Structure 1
Amino acid sequence: MISIIIPAYNEEKSIKDTVQRVFFVCKNSFKEYEVIVVNDGSTDKTATVLESFKTSHLIILNRGFNRGYGASLKEGIEYAKGEVIAITDADGTYPIEKIPQLINDVEQGFSMSVAARKGRYKNTSLIKSVPKFLLDKVANVVAGQKISDINSGLRAFRKKDVIPFFNIISDKFSFTTTITLSYLSNGLSVSYIPIEYRKREGKSKVKARDGFDFVNLILRTIMYFNPLRIFAPVALFLMGIGVLKFVYDLFNEPYLNITPSVIFVFLSGLQILAIGMLADLIRTTRK
């Protein structure tokens, strides 16, 4: 059984075409499948459009109010009967025909397979592209490797692999970001399949405040899986500054005792390192 999950919020203009495309791919690729659409409190005609489909393969989960992109996906994942799950957006931007390839990668042994968008900044405004670019770089450092596409909404994974990370994965738009970091930080294998990315139908649901949530969630993920990636560089930097200041004072004022500023900076670095090592010990024990 293969489960395809589509979260939808006010997508009346694109949901019909998206669901039809998903059914076309499933009918030609899988023997057993289900398509789960989580209607996340839509106030337009999304529910009416979905009700026009007459097939037992379509499961519609209607929510009375908007809980968020990630919360919708989590609900769909928990409801899904399939061992392997693929997710895609309702806005028609992703090449759904790539789903069989993504699922094949998972069945061949990868923990997750991600559709990596080529030139994903070209149709994005400068004000959105710069933060995304910077956050991509931060995420690469966190994961310790290059991430081809950290927040692609088209991907496949096993249900049993993703459930344990629900407590750290976001209920909002950062779901895909935090699931990627969670997998990579925990040593799970991820494959990337290059895709072309179309311009979305309708208005984007991402708001400015989601950017702050995005940064917060990256920091939370670091702390949860790789605390030393933050604490160690900061600690070593401060301790290094302390040592350099001590050497400078020694050569310029040889009769001066160690200055309070040297002691403060060096001990601050040492304390931060100790906290990081304790957090890492807790992480290791938790595993």
Structure 2
Amino acid sequence: MSERSHISATRLSIVLPAKNESRSLAVLLPDLRGRFPDAEIIVVDDGSDDGTVDLCQSYGVRAIRHAYSKGNGAAIKSGARAAQGEFIVFMDADGQHRPQDIPHLLTRLSEGFDMAVGARIAAGTQAGLHRAMANGFYNRFASWMTGQQIMDLTSGFRAVRARLFKRFLYLLPNGFSYPTTCTMAFFRSGYSVTYEPIEVQQRMAGTASHIRPWRDGVRFLLIIFKIGTLFSPMKLFFPISMAFFFTGLGHYMHTYFSSGRFTNMSALLFITSVLVFLIGLVSEQITTLIYRDTDA
């Protein structure tokens, strides 16, 4: 462990979700074991067919196997439930995340933060232009929703306080959006989140991304709306309500001065504005109930 980190490896669990990543794990696991000999290392095999479990056993690493692929988020949840450490580090198993960056994240936890996220400063080397633009949009949207600057909403490399992270397991989806959900959940509950710049390595040869740009792009778009309604509903519903209201007002002014009438379309737009506002208000109350235990 680095001298910068004040967290003992005996209190640390390292969780790696993996699906057919045996080639990269063959390099990553001995590196992790050499750097953190006392840490609990857990590989969650999400339905691999490349001998991942046998590889873990050869390095003395604990392996949890899913009988079939359930998704990255499901693997994260399985690993978090099994982790015994006071602190958990989550990192990808494809070789993009560097073990030498772990002490930097742990240092931020020792400074009092509840979650430290590895913010990719070289994301462009791994992602195409469309991925970089999408990530930028997600970051800006989430920053607006939370009122806090979010440098990397989708990074899977992070260190957390285990007892706090486990409170939100029921919120996490089984797919690739667990970083988005847990980050927003921490902000919503008033926990401290910080970002540590990291470099992203090239994915090891023989490994491939499990993200499909078009299919998962649509899913991420839906997640944006889900996250918005789950954590800050009025920030999403209120602008929509105002858009309907002012559209209705503009339509009414036009029809009033042109023909002296109040039309059905104006009435529909005003009613829609009120309904959207009320839905947002009810959603805000439901959100408060969801977090009544975690906010304590």
TM-score (norm 1): 0.90
Instruction: Decide which of 183, 189, 208 is 1:203's aligned counterpart.
Output: 208
Q: Percent identity?
A: 29
Q: Render the CA deviation track for 1:208-236: whole Å, top value 9, x for unaligned.
A: 42222222233222222211121101001
Moved more, 230-239 or 258-267: 258-267
Q: Render the CA deviation track for 1:191-215: whole Å, top value 9, x for unaligned.
A: 0000111111111111242222222
Distance 1:279 1:116 in 2: 31
Shift in Å at residue 155 of structure 1? Answer: 0.4
Q: How does 1:25-44 map to 2 (within 5 A)?
A: 25-27=35-37, 32-44=38-50
The residue that corresponds to 1:268 in the other structure is 272
The residue that corresponds to 1:7 in the other structure is 17
The residue that corresponds to 1:20 in the other structure is 30
Shift in Å at residue 3 of structure 1? Answer: 0.6
SS in 1 for 2:186: helix
Q: How does 1:1-287 map to 2 (within 5 A)?
A: 1-27=11-37, 32-53=38-59, 55=60, 58-201=61-204, 202-207=207-212, 208-253=214-259, 256-286=260-290, 287=292
Moved more, 167-176 or 84-93: 167-176
Shift in Å at residue 35 of structure 1? Answer: 0.8
Q: Is the 8 A contact 2:135 2:153 kept in 1?
A: no
Distance 1:185 1:250 in 2: 45
Q: Is the 8 A contact 1:170 1:217 kept in 2?
A: no
Moved more, 207-216 or 237-246: 207-216
C-alpha RMSD of matched pairs (Å): 1.8
Distance 2:140 2:56 in 1: 39
Q: How many residues align?
A: 278
Q: Render the CA deviation track for 1:90-146: whole Å, top value 9, x for unaligned.
A: 111112211122122223221200010003134322343343333333333332333
Shift in Å at residue 69 of structure 1? Answer: 1.1
Q: Is the 8 A contact 2:123 2:132 kept in 1?
A: no
Distance 2:33 2:174 in 1: 27
